[in-house]
């Protein structure tokens, strides 16, 4: 996911109308996001809101100065601090990172930990994960493994896929904790569900040798490959259908996303049918110009399938694009 989009989504969780407006503009491709140079109007708007005291805008402005094309870490730290002092958890986390790395401020591990703890208390999973790494690598004396596991568990439970994956490794190897394969498997699956590509591939490998996997292994393989994980993509090249034909052509843009949509729509591979997930994956495939996904969405909007509201104009736009790409069903539909 584009990092700025992720930030905007985080900032709309409290119902702030302005950040919701920014997210709407992003979705409509009206908001430049590539760099500070090419999004000057956006930065100017951020500055105006930030100077009014809006904590979300202060955080986003700090992010621009920390990560935009024209960087100024000192200014970034100043805006992060303003937002952090108002209780903005992402800003508290990022200010902690600046103290940890010594970017824009004097390096100070105590300050880094203090700000990360404030963000963690507010539920920021990445701050929790950072605390785990701190107690592993930078504790005053020897690594504090009890604190490492404590913070990684909290991070994983709040949505940090890497922390969950780390716990899988700890329990699998018996590293600083009692070896426990059940716990290792539980955290691996948690990591996969949270979107960790390597965890998804490893779940596939585990379920591939399990005769009772109900095909779920294929689902996790596709999820991993969809994120570009090399081993998963290579494995996908070997998949065949019942007739011995290649199941998925990775050279076709959107092919993986389209197949994931099919799996969710029909409840294949041990999944429960899920219209919302199916439509989500069809949209992703359509954005890559997958003809089958475009046609499928055309039918959805024409007939109100999969919980989609009927919209003839939108249906025709999908049909037209599918037809342009050579989809015969779409061509027949349009006459």
Give the tens place of pLDDT for each residue, 208-232: 777 565 568 889 999 999 999 999 9
Looking at residue 4, what is its pLDDT?
53
Ordered by where they begin, the domains of the chain are 1-119 (1.25.40.10), 252-335 (1.25.40.10)
* Contacts of residue 309, Cβ cutoff 8 Å, sequence gap at least 6: 301
Both tokens assigned to 323? 């037809």
Query: CA 192 to CA 190: how far, in whole Å?
Result: 5
Nearest to 316 by CA among 288, 297, 329: 297
**pLDDT tens figures, 283-295:** 999 999 999 999 9
Looking at residue 212, what is its pLDDT?
64
Looking at residue 270, what is its pLDDT?
85
Query: What is the CB-side half-sphere exposure of residue 63 using CA atoms within 13 A?
Result: 25
**pLDDT tens figures, 3-16:** 455 555 555 554 55
Torsion of CA 184, 190, 195, 196, to 10 degrees: -10
Query: CA 69 to CA 312: how far, in whole Å?
Result: 42
136-141: average pLDDT: 78
Q: How many CB atoms lie within 10 A of CB 74?
A: 12
Looking at residue 22, what is its pLDDT?
56
Q: What percent of the chain has pLDDT over 70?
A: 86
To the nearest 10 degrees (0 to 180), the angle between helices 145-157 and 161-173 is 130
39-50: average pLDDT: 81
Q: What percent of the chain has pLDDT over 90?
A: 71
Q: Contact, 100 vs 93, CB < 8 A?
A: no
259-286: average pLDDT: 95
Confidence label for 35 from pLDDT (cuts 50, 70 and 90)? very low
Nearest to 151 by CA among 196, 119, 183: 119
**pLDDT tens figures, 190-214:** 999 999 999 999 999 988 777 565 5
Looking at residue 41, what is its pLDDT?
76
Per-residue pLDDT for 24 more than 70? Answer: no
42-52: average pLDDT: 88
Looking at residue 68, what is its pLDDT?
80
Per-residue pLDDT for 80 more than 70? Answer: yes
Looking at residue 214, what is its pLDDT?
59
Confidence label for 69 from pLDDT (cuts 50, 70 and 90)? confident
Q: Contact, 150 vs 136, CB < 8 A?
A: no
pTM (global) more than 0.85:
no
Q: Contact, 191 vs 165, CB < 8 A?
A: yes
249-273: average pLDDT: 94
Both tokens assigned to 248? 């998925």
Query: CA 126 to CA 254: how far, in whole Å?
Result: 30
Looking at residue 28, what is its pLDDT?
44
Per-residue pLDDT for 116 more than 50? Answer: yes
Torsion of CA 131, 134, 135, 136, to 10 degrees: 120
Looking at residue 242, what is its pLDDT?
81
Confidence label for 29 from pLDDT (cuts 50, 70 and 90)? very low
pLDDT-wise least confident of 67-76, 177-186, 325-334: 67-76
Per-residue pLDDT for 112 more than 80? Answer: yes
Q: How many CB atoms lie within 10 A of CB 108?
A: 15
Please, is 88 exposed, middle or buried when counting C-beta atoms within 10 Å of its C-beta (0-12, 13-18, 19+)?
A: buried
Tell me the pLDDT of the chain averaged across its residues.
88
């Amino acid at each position: 996911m584009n990092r700025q989009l992720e930030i905007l989504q985080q900032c709309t969780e409290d119902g702030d109308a302005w950040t919701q407006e920014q997210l709407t503009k992003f979705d409509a491709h009206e908001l430049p996001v590539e760099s500070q140079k090419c999004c000057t109007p956006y930065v100017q708007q951020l500055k105006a809101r930030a100077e009014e005291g809006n904590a979300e805008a202060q955080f986003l402005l700090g992010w621009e100065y920390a990560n935009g094309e024209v960087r100024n870490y000192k200014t970034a730290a100043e805006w992060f601090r303003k937002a952090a002092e108002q209780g903005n958890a992402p800003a508290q986390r990022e200010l902690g990172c600046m103290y940890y790395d010594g970017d824009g401020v004097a390096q100070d591990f105590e300050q880094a930990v203090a700000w990360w703890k404030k963000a963690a208390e507010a539920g920021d999973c990445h701050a929790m994960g950072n605390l785990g790494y701190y107690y592993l690598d930078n504790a005053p004396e020897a690594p504090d493994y009890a604190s490492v596991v404590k913070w990684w568990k909290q991070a994983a439970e709040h949505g940090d896929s890497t922390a969950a994956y780390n716990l899988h490794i700890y329990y699998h190897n018996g590293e600083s904790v009692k070896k426990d394969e059940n716990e290792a498997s539980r955290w691996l699956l948690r990591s996969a569900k949270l979107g960790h590509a390597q965890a998804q591939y490893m779940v596939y490998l585990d379920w591939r040798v399990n005769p009772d996997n109900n095909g779920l292994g294929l689902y996790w393989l596709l999820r991993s490959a969809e994120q570009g994980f090399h081993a998963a993509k290579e494995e996908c090249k070997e998949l065949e259908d019942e007739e011995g034909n290649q199941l998925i052509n990775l050279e076709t843009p959107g092919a993986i996303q389209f197949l994931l949509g099919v799996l969710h729509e029909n409840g294949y591979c041990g999944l429960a049918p899920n219209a919302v997930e199916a439509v989500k994956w069809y949209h992703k495939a359509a954005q890559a110009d997958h003809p089958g996904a475009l046609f499928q969405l055309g039918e959805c909007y024409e007939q109100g399938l999969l919980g989609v509201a009927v919209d003839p104009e939108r249906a025709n736009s999908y049909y037209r694009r599918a037809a342009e790409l050579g989809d015969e069903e779409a061509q027949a539909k349009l006459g």
